[in-house]
Amino acid sequence: MTEVLTVLGSVFCLISLFAIGFPKRLLRAAESITITTPLRFLAFVIRILLGIIILLAAGSTQFPLTLKVIGILLIVSGVTLLLLGNSRIQSLLNWFLRQGPNSIRISGVVGFLFGGFLIYAVV
């Protein structure tokens, strides 16, 4: 399971590097997103799966309690996404995108740090 966390951490880092390096391109792509029920359900499933994977792998890492908390938070955020309506999530996305490319860069830095932490936790 630690190999899965290493791969997840690497994916987070790669996506985050793209966000840091090309925030305007990512911003333009995100502006065309319309939140639909299938898209919201996909986001729910991804967060639940990530949460479960992190919870299952937490015991074999250097920071089991921290990763258990992160796993639980991911599951809670997935359920929250499912409970919120499409229009509310669209409003949140639009608000975030109005903050401009620097918000994308900051999110990229946070994502990169998270991915790095996942990798470090299993090394």
What pLDDT, in 10s, does the model give residues 32-78? 999 999 999 999 999 999 999 999 999 999 999 999 999 999 999 99
Instruction: Return d(Cα 14, Cα 119) in angstroms, integer.
Output: 13
What's the rounded Cα separation, in Å, for the pair 65 and 58?
A: 7
- pLDDT 10s digits, 75-111: 999 999 989 989 999 999 999 999 999 999 999 999 9
Q: What is the DSSP letter of 34?
A: -
Its pTM stands at 0.88
